[in-house]
Amino acid sequence: MKEIRLKFNSKDKENIDRLKEKYGFKTSEDLIKFLVTIFAQHYVEFLWGVNEAEKNSKNDFEFYKR
């Protein structure tokens, strides 16, 4: 198995700890593996697409004009 070393600043570490607590992960490694999995399965792109549609729906005419 390959080993990846990451260096995080204090703000990154705070975000990691917050995400671990929010999603119930015990280790940073488990959280990173989870994040890699959702990116690999295109969940993030799907969610960004939804957010883009929601952002554009404020102006319905322009949204449908595309």
2-58 confidence digits (pLDDT tens): 888 989 999 999 999 999 999 999 999 999 998 888 877 776 666 666 555 555 555
pTM: predicted TM-score of the whole model, two decimal places: 0.58
- Rounded Cα distance between 59 and 14, Å, is 37
Q: In the Cβ-directed half-sphere of 34, how many Cα atoms lie within 13 Å?
A: 12
Predicted pLDDT of residue 38: 81
More confident residue, 42 or 63: 42
